[in-house]
Chain A
């Protein structure tokens, strides 16, 4: 089974609208972390937001928020007031376990977001 599933290969959104990018995950480890990264055409992965499995509140970072639904194993990224510069690939990733020396990230296949002027 896929550990990270992103079911939206591509999305088109009007500028200034909000957008939700879907991510579901699969793990039996009660301790895990969920990440979202943005990858522009230049190739560099840019960290956006992090949610730990024990965090009580949904993470927020500026225009980014993470809709964390633990029981449903989903960690959707919400971008408010989208901008043209938000056009990029977006990846959801997971780290299983918080043990020192176990920092491997498992990525999904990504969603290509295109913002339309």
Chain B
């Protein structure tokens, strides 16, 4: 049983560009959450998707948007990249009503 997978592993972009990160949840999990982890910090909640809708959102600007597909996989889009967007982006999935969130290995984004 595959766990949470994310792609790509690493990504380098320049300021002002746009980026799309992808996440496939663990089998049977219908809820996907995205977190941003800056270097030396704990993860910060970006948003959560359930039934293809954004259900909860953290304190992130509208430049951060997402999508969930019918197969529960998800994308995180970031527009107009800033240097401060450089971070490890973690995806977590969980089944409905569960306390436990299973995390993927993350995508490391570097903005130059």
Contact = CB atoms under 8 A, between A and B. Distances in A.
B42 A109 contact: yes
A14 interface: no
Interface string A92-117: 01010000111111111110000000
A103 B88 contact: no
Mostly, the B contact residues are strand
Interface string B28-50: 00010101000011111100101
Interface residues of A, number: 26
Nearest to A95: B99
Interface stretch (A38-46, A64-72, A78-86): A38-46
A101 B42 contact: no
Nearest to B42: A107
14 contacts: A35-B99, A37-B103, A43-B88, A44-B105, A44-B106, A45-B90, A47-B103, A95-B99, A100-B96, A101-B56, A102-B56, A103-B94, A104-B48, A107-B43
